[in-house]
Amino acid sequence: MSYISTRGSAPVLGFDDVLLAGLARDGGLYLPETWPGLSADAIRGLRGRSFAEIAVAVIHPFTGGAITRDELARMADEAYAGFGHVAVTPLVQIAPNRFVLELFHGPTLAFKDVAMQLLARLMDAVLEKRGQRATIVGATSGDTGGAAIEAFRASRRVDVVILFPDGRVSDVQRRMMTTPEEENVHAVAVDGTFDDCQSLVKSMFNDHAFRDSVALSGVNSINWARIVAQVSYYFAAGIALGAPDRPLDFIVPTGNFGDIFAGHVARRMGLPIRRLVIASNENDILPRAVATGVYEMRGVVATSSPSMDIQISSNFERYLFEASGRDAARLRNMMGSLAAARRFELGDLAASLRRDFDAASASESEVAEAIRRVREGDGYLLDPHTACAIVAADKTPASGDAVEVVLATAHPAKFPDAMQAITGERPGLPDRLFGLMTAPERFERIGNDLSEVEAFVEARARAVREVTS
């Protein structure tokens, strides 16, 4: 299994090198040269299997022999043993023909844990075999940072620096990044938005001299392994609900387009998904692109669903590459236009986008109304991101006999201030997180300046000291 860049000029790599590379050296994102699939009989054969077993069946075809099936099975068992539910990602029915897929039973109460816990083990295994270290730098709008720091805090091979927008994440999200005491993990509050943080990370990857000097790697969803790990829960949910003999609709809270692109991959692999619905908050760049055929950046609005307060949806590039027939030159032109003019036109790709996705956005008042309505009518408490998906599900037409699955991407206790403002009650954290809100914090504040951030990373990257010693 080989991987190619959406920009067309980076080296073709195997799975293990893509795992460590993150962003391609030409600024693009990696995708497999060919798509593996699971037949209907193979999907039926996974009925009754554990989440870890389903994950191995889904992920192993993408590894190209870089990781043995037995190695992957051991890592998956370890990764998901600590989740707070035996099903790892359980389904809860909240209405006739509508289920919530709870992705928040991991250690940091967000869907990012499902991929990150496995990614940490994969990276450590590859680095151990090579006798190397790596430096991870990531940007977070709230959940990726905590999940990455939690997953890698015990790593013997990786140093982690996470950039988050100062004052634009919840207190719980921040503390999940700033309270771990291990010397290999570092949280940095940047004076800017998530898009600024993400731009800094991409600039570091595109600074090849710096990238090589610190052995830079990434855990944002620019890393292909993050995407493929998330494909697993689409299959787990589908199989539990009768796939491949029952069609499915998935409604997905969407910011960086990684989670819903994982759903697109699951559909490519053979899962009978009829609808994939992009659910956005008031930062509605993706629903506007679906409606108008123009991808146009505007200012970021702070909302009660901060993980979706994004205007640059990085993984959208992967979809456009596929929809264009893998036309790298066209992708380079689109991304160049986005950098120069903050917009580009989809042209004939708009029809493909509308064929493959529905989309809707939710205002703050609609989010609050959905949380109150579902709580009072169905006895279920949504977090604001999941509430956006409920609103989008209600705004977009159902596809006949397909069962609706709404992805619950975070636990409501991660957003206590927003939840109290909406419901009048402050949801409590699970017992296993006792002490989080009183533990001492450790983080740095840095301006939105590339040289300042690079200096911070270089001072803490032990890969540098290995090379120079």
Q: Are 149 and 176 in contact (CB under 8 A)?
A: yes
Check if 129 is active-site. no
Of 112, 129, 202, 395, catalytic: 112
Q: Are 409 and 386 in contact (CB under 8 A)?
A: yes
Q: Are 248 and 403 in contact (CB under 8 A)?
A: yes
Q: In whole angstroms, what is the distance from residue 69 CA to residue 326 CA?
A: 30
**How far from 244 is each of 47, 195, 248, 274, CA to CA, in Å?**
10, 38, 9, 12
Q: In whole angstroms, what is the distance from residue 114 CA to residue 111 CA?
A: 6
Q: Are 100 and 92 in contact (CB under 8 A)?
A: yes
Q: Report the candidate in 79, 65, 10, 36 with the shortest Cα–Cα distance to residue 222.
A: 10
Q: How many CA atoms lie within 13 A of 376 on its CB side?
A: 9
Give the number of other Cβ atoms within 10 Å of residue 402's Cβ: 18
Tell me, rounded to whole angstroms, the distance of Cα 329 from its chain centroid: 26
Over its C-alpha atoms, the chain yields an Rg (Å, rounded) of 21
Strands (DSSP E) along 356-467, which ranges? 358-361, 403-408, 444-446
**How far from 292 is each of 282, 350, 419, CA to CA, in Å?**
16, 8, 33
| Paired sense of beta strands 2-5 and 13-14, if any | antiparallel
Structure tokens at 468: 């120079």
Q: In whole angstroms, what is the distance from residue 373 CA to residue 28 CA?
A: 42
**248-253: strand order across its sheet:** 91-95, 98-102, 403-408, 248-253, 273-280, 358-361
Structure tokens at 424: 């009048």
Residue length of the chain = 469
Q: In whole angstroms, what is the distance from residue 328 CA to residue 342 CA?
A: 19
- Which residues does the annotation mark as catalytic? 112
